[in-house]
């Protein structure tokens, strides 16, 4: 296929996937929900049209087999979204992987597969990368029954409703069967745009801690309860929101956010009796990340004590920063150079399936620019020509990795590489 045909097919597929959404602004395909399954079915149909064979594991990770055999090169990303999210986050990596796999599968010694992971977004259950964790065997015991969505349903409950049985998922994603994993993703930031480069090669993925806070106040009539006698859970939460912001500001290259906050009973005439919120702390430096989490916990305890609004804090997820593998990264940078596409090496503030996969197989991550840096929002943008450029680089990197593997009795140990 020529470049124009690739762009045209990418555009048509992006449009078709964007239509698989709950009503409302942007794209909403909740993790482990029926719309996520519908998106997986759609890409499976497209892969079959290109001659690929399709397998799905018990966690709903869909594997599109373009070139049979082991070891194999794996490409991929995810198809779920945050509520009212964009049409590119995750989707771009699956579609770009499919284009590159379709182009090179016939030429390579190694097998070539594309994976669409399930449930990468943490919005629904407060923990990201559930599908890739199950595929790599990294999922903590009991998690699938413990984590619940806003409706109180566990991951197992929700997944079973679409015919999945995540607790029965046998880990399959690991070296040496998987020679390397390559993921394309939108940057979701402004570095590439500011530096006017077409592509970014990620060296480190920020660690992320996610803490659930429950504050208990005392719900009383707002008109008859004097200010002095109140235990207002929202006023306590407001102090914590500002403390978290301060911790993020003091972390220099880190960030700290409260993106989700729910008030109970949330009536204009009732002093708030409870608040649930989720804190997100990220850093590319593990020590600074731990220090920020400790500072957030200390601030919550201080507010709870002073206001008489007891707080419970639960860690929903805690992932250290992940250095990606030098071997597949070098294949990406060399392929950029081959194609005369300017790139830069940069860290990722967002978590990605590549960070989970990096623990069991060599993994690399390629960014395409996100105009305005806006993501997890309906007006998330991405230029089709940049995705097409990423497809060219992916195809080049696959050929280089295949060459490397053919030239070596054993695959190179990425830990021994530069």
Q: How many C-beta neighbours within 10 Å does residue 225 have?
A: 16
CB of 347 to its own copies, least distance (A): 10
Fill in the per-residue mask, 149 to 188: x = in contact with its own copies (CB under 8 A), - = not in contact. --------------------------------------xx
What CA–CA distance (Å, rounded) separates 250 from 292? 9
Applying the rule CB under 8 A, the residues between 85 and 144 that interact with its own copies are 85, 121-123, 126, 128
Q: Which of 258, 293, 322, 331 binds its own copies (CB under 8 A)?
A: 258
84 touching its own copies, by CB under 8 A: yes
Q: Which of 148, 160, 260, 297 binds its own copies (CB under 8 A)?
A: 260
Q: Give the range of 40-48, 57-65, 137-145, 216-224 binding its own copies by CB under 8 A.
A: 216-224
Q: Which of 69, 265, 308, 342 binds its own copies (CB under 8 A)?
A: 265
CB of 344 to its own copies, least distance (A): 15
Applying the rule CB under 8 A, the residues between 25 and 54 that interact with its own copies are none
Report CA-CA distances (Å) from 322 to 100, 353, 416: 26, 11, 17
Asked if 197 and 343 count as a contact pair (C-beta separation under 8 A), the reply is yes
Question: Closest Cα partner for 358 from 395, 392, 320?
Answer: 320
- In the bound state with its own copies, the residue whose beta carbon lies nearer, of 67 and 83, is 83
What CA–CA distance (Å, rounded) separates 281 from 259? 11
What CA–CA distance (Å, rounded) separates 191 from 373? 8
CB of 4 to its own copies, least distance (A): 31
Q: Which of 98, 180, 208, 303 binds its own copies (CB under 8 A)?
A: 208
Q: How many C-beta neighbours within 10 Å does residue 293 have?
A: 22
Residue 290 exposed, middle or buried by CB count within 10 Å (0-12, 13-18, 19+): middle
CB-based contacts of 242: which residues, under 8 Å, 6+ apart? none
Q: Which of 13, 37, 282, 319 binds its own copies (CB under 8 A)?
A: 282
Q: Hunting for tokens 């709950």 — which residue is that?
A: 22
298 touching its own copies, by CB under 8 A: no
CB of 260 to its own copies, least distance (A): 5
321 touching its own copies, by CB under 8 A: no
Q: What is the DSSP letter of 287?
A: H
Q: Give the range of 160-168, 175-183, 247-255, 400-408 binding its own copies by CB under 8 A.
A: 247-255
Q: Which of 17, 147, 164, 206 binds its own copies (CB under 8 A)?
A: 206
Tokens of 344: 């830069």
Q: What is the DSSP letter of 168?
A: G
- In the bound state with its own copies, the residue whose beta carbon lies nearer, of 334 and 377, is 377
- In the bound state with its own copies, the residue whose beta carbon lies nearer, of 7 and 120, is 120
Total site size for its own copies, rule CB under 8 A: 71
Report CA-CA distances (Å) from 181 to 18, 259, 369, 401: 25, 31, 21, 11
Q: Give the range of 8-16, 164-172, 236-244, 323-331 binding its own copies by CB under 8 A.
A: 236-244
CB of 121 to its own copies, least distance (A): 7
**Partners of residue 141 on adjacent β-strands:** none
318 touching its own copies, by CB under 8 A: no
Report CA-CA distances (Å) from 180 to 60, 355, 361: 21, 13, 6
226 touching its own copies, by CB under 8 A: yes
Q: Give the range of 44-52, 168-176, 274-282, 397-405 binding its own copies by CB under 8 A.
A: 274-282
Asked if 185 and 390 count as a contact pair (C-beta separation under 8 A), the reply is no
Applying the rule CB under 8 A, the residues between 347 and 386 that interact with its own copies are 348-351, 373-377
Q: Where are the beta strands (DSSP E) in 94-195?
A: 111-117, 178-186
239 touching its own copies, by CB under 8 A: yes
Q: How many C-beta neighbours within 10 Å does residue 283 have?
A: 27
């Amino acid at each position: 296929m020529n470049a124009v045909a690739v762009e045209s097919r990418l555009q048509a597929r992006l449009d078709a996937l964007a239509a698989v959404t709950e009503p409302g602004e942007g794209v909403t395909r909740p993790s482990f929900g029926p719309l996520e399954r519908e998106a997986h079915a759609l890409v499976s149909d497209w892969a079959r049209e290109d001659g690929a064979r399709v397998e799905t594991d018990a966690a709903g990770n869909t594997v599109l087999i373009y070139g049979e055999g082991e070891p194999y090169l794996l490409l991929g990303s995810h198809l779920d979204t945050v509520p009212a999210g964009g049409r590119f986050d995750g989707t771009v990596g699956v579609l770009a992987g499919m284009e590159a796999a379709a182009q090179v599968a016939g030429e390579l010694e190694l097998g070539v597969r594309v994976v669409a992971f399930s449930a990468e977004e943490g919005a629904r259950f407060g923990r990201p990368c559930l599908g890739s964790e199950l595929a790599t065997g990294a999922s903590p015991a009991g998690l699938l029954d413990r984590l619940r969505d806003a409706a109180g349903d566990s991951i197992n409950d929700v997944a079973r409703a679409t015919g999945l049985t995540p607790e029965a998922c046998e880990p399959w994603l690991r070296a040496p069967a998987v020679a390397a994993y390559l993921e394309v993703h939108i940057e979701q930031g402004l570095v590439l745009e500011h530096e006017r480069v077409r592509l970014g090669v990620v060296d480190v993925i920020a660690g992320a801690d996610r803490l659930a806070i429950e504050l208990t106040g005392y719900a009383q009539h707002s008109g008859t309860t004097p200010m002095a006698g109140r235990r207002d859970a929202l006023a306590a939460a407001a102090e914590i929101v500002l403390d978290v912001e301060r911790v993020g500001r003091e972390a220099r290259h880190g960030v700290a956010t409260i993106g989700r906050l729910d008030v109970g009973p949330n009536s204009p005439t009732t002093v708030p009796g409870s608040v649930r919120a989720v804190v997100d702390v990220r850093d590319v430096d593990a020590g600074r990340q731990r220090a920020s989490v400790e500072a957030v916990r200390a601030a919550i305890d201080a507010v709870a004590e002073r206001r008489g609004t007891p707080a419970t804090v639960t860690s929903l997820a805690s992932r250290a920063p992940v250095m990606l593998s030098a071997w597949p990264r070098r294949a990406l940078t060399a392929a950029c150079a081959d194609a005369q596409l300017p790139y830069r090496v940069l860290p990722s503030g967002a978590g990605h399936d590549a960070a989970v996969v990096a623990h069991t197989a060599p993994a690399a991550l390629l960014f395409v620019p996100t105009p305005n840096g806006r993501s997890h929002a309906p007006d998330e943008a991405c230029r089709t020509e940049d995705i097409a450029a990423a497809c060219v680089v992916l195809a080049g990197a696959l050929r280089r990795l295949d060459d490397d593997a053919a030239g070596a009795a054993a695959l190179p140990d990425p830990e021994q590489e530069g």
